[in-house]
Chain A
Amino acid sequence: MLARVHEHNLVKWAKDRPQIVVFSADLTRSTEIGLFAEKFPDRFFSMGVAEQNMLSFAAGMAREGFIPFVHTFAVFIYRQALNQIISSIAYSNLPVKMFGFLPGLTTPGGATHQAIEDVAVMRSIPNMVIFEPGDATEIESVLDAVVNTKGPVYLRMLRGEVPRLFPKNKPFIPDKARQLSKGDDLTLLSSGICTQEAMKATAVLRNKGVTINHLQISTLKPFTDPAVLAAISAPRCGVITMENHSIIGGLGSAAAELMAENAIPKRLVRIGLKDTFAHGGSRSYLMRYYGLDAFVLVEKIEGLLGEKLGITEDDLAAVRLESKKSQATEEDL
Chain B
Amino acid sequence: MADKNNWQQEAKRVATGIRFRVLDHTIRNNGGYLSQACSAAEILATLYTHIMKLGPSTAPMIPPPFQGVPNINNPEYTTGAGYNGPCTPDYDRFFLSPAHYALVLYTVLIETGRMAPEGLTQFNQDGSTVEMIGAEHSPGFEMMGGSLAQTLSQAGGIALARILRNQKGRIWVFMSDGEFQEGQVWEAFQTLAHYGIDNLSVFVDVNGQQCDGEVKNVMGIEPLEQRLRAFGAFVLKADGHDPDALCTAAAADHADRPLVVLCYTDSCRGVPLLEQRRPLLHYVRFKNEAERREYATFLQKHMPDQQTP
Contact = CB atoms under 8 A, between A and B. Distances in A.
Interface in B223-260: none
A61 B184 contact: no
Contact of A88 (B150, B187, B190, B195): B150
A317 B187 CA distance: 48
A61 B149 CA distance: 17
A84 B136 contact: no
Interface residues of A, number: 28
Interface string B141-174: 0011111011001111111111011000000000
Nearest to A91: B144
A66 B165 CA distance: 11
Interface in A41-87: 45, 47-48, 50, 52-53, 56-66, 83-84, 87
A92 B144 contact: yes
Among B149, B157, B188, B195, the most chain A Cβ lie within 10 Å of the Cβ of: B157
B183 interface: yes
A53 B72 contact: no
A88 B144 contact: yes
Interface in B188-224: 188, 190-191, 194-195
Given A50-B187, A53-B191, A83-B147, A88 B161 contact: no
B127 interface: no
B157 A57 contact: yes
B273 interface: no
B71 interface: yes
A23 to B, nearest CB: 10
B72 A60 contact: no
A93 interface: yes
Q: How large is the interface on B (under 10, 10 to 19, 20 to 34, 35 or more residues)?
A: 20 to 34
A60 B153 contact: yes
A127 interface: yes
B70 A93 contact: yes
Dominant SS at the B interface? helix
Contacts of B146: 87
Contact of A92 (B72, B143, B190, B195): B143
B69 interface: yes
B190 A48 contact: yes
A53 B189 CA distance: 9
Given A92-B136, A127-B70, A60 B156 contact: yes
B191 A66 contact: no
A60 B155 contact: yes
Contacts of A64: 157-158, 161-162, 165
Nearest to B167: A64
Contacts of A52: 149-150, 153, 183-184, 187
A45 B71 CA distance: 28
B72 A150 contact: yes
A57 B153 contact: yes
Contacts of B162: 64
B188 to A, nearest CB: 5
Contact of B157 (A50, A58, A87, A92): A58
Interface in A166-215: none
Interface in A114-156: 126-127, 150-151
A86 to B, nearest CB: 8
Contacts of B161: 60-61, 63-66
B72 A87 contact: no
Contacts of A56: 150, 153-154, 156-157, 184, 188
A126 B71 contact: yes
Contacts of A53: 153, 156, 184, 187-188, 190-191
Contact of A59 (B70, B154, B187, B194): B154
B66 to A, nearest CB: 14
A63 B150 contact: no
A83 B150 CA distance: 9
Contact of B136 (A50, A83, A91, A126): A91
A262 to B, nearest CB: 23
B158 A61 contact: yes
A12 B184 CA distance: 34
A34 to B, nearest CB: 20
Interface of A: 45, 47-48, 50, 52-53, 56-66, 83-84, 87-88, 91-93, 126-127, 150-151
In the A-B complex, the 4 residue pairs with the closest CB atoms: A60-B157, A56-B153, A64-B161, A53-B187
Given A50-B190, A53-B156, A88-B150, 12 more contacts: A52-B153, A53-B153, A53-B188, A53-B190, A53-B191, A56-B153, A57-B157, A59-B154, A60-B156, A60-B160, A63-B157, A88-B143
